[in-house]
A and B are shown apart, each in its own frame.
Chain A
Amino acid sequence: AQSVTQLDSQVPVFEEAPVELRCNYSSSVSVYLFWYVQYPNQGLQLLLKYLSGSTLVKGINGFEAEFNKSQTSFHLRKPSVHISDTAEYFCAVSVFSGGYNKLIFGAGTRLAVHP
């Protein structure tokens, strides 16, 4: 069964520093990969997605992610974070079954940006 592992439950970082949030997935077939962000007391908002093509994907708010098939990873990066980036970040993989698909999420990484 497909699964998603987010290697860090919490990542503290200072404002304007770079950050990387790590994500590994397990799948034997082609995958669609996603990063979602959840601000306090809100639902999930799509940051970026990898469907095919270029392995470097750019998303909203200056985030980008790199798909690495050999390492089954999809790490999220930002070169300079802001206080407003403090949130929970979820990596997800799309799983297809019987003509339908669903998203399987990792446990999340809490990004805390300090001044």
Chain B
Amino acid sequence: DAGVTQSPTHLIKTRGQQVTLRCSPKSGHDTVSWYQQALGQGPQFIFQYYEEEERQRGNFPDRFSGHQFPNYSSELNVNALLLGDSALYLCASSQGLAVRNTGELFFGEGSRLTVL
């Protein structure tokens, strides 16, 4: 049973560039959430996708955008990168709407982004 997979594992970008991170959810899951974890901090909620639509969004600027595909996989895009965007980006999957789940998330290993 494949868990949550993310790619790439590491990448380095320069300020102003754009980056795309990818995530495949755990088998049987249809909801994908993205979190940003800066060094020494807890994960911060970016947004959540279900049925190919953004359902919830945290306090992140519009430079952060996403997409969910029909196979439930997801992408996180960040435009106009800033030094402060350097972080571990975590993808997490779950199953369906809140009424059908407890909120437990299954996490991938993350994509570590360094912005120079």
Contact = CB atoms under 8 A, between A and B. Distances in A.
B42 A90 contact: yes
A115 interface: no
Which of B48, B97, B103 has the most CB atoms of chain A within a 10 A radius of its CB?
A: B103
Given A102-B33, A105-B42, A49 B56 contact: no
Interface in B9-41: 33, 35, 40-41
B108 A43 contact: yes
Nearest to B57: A102
Nearest to B4: A43
B42 A34 contact: no
Contact of B102 (A6, A49, A97, A102): A49
Nearest to A105: B42
Given A98-B56, A108-B42, A103 B105 contact: yes
Name the prevailing secondary structure of the A interface residues.
strand
A97 B56 CA distance: 8
Nearest to A36: B107
Contact of B98 (A34, A44, A51, A99): A99
Interface string A34-63: 101000001111100101000000000000
Interface string A2-45: 00101000000000000000000000000010101000001111
B63 interface: no
A102 B43 CA distance: 12
A43 B48 contact: no
Given A43-B109, A100-B97, A105-B44, 20 more contacts: A4-B42, A32-B102, A32-B104, A34-B103, A43-B4, A43-B90, A44-B92, A46-B106, A49-B104, A94-B104, A98-B56, A99-B98, A100-B50, A100-B55, A100-B56, A102-B103, A103-B105, A104-B45, A107-B42, A108-B40
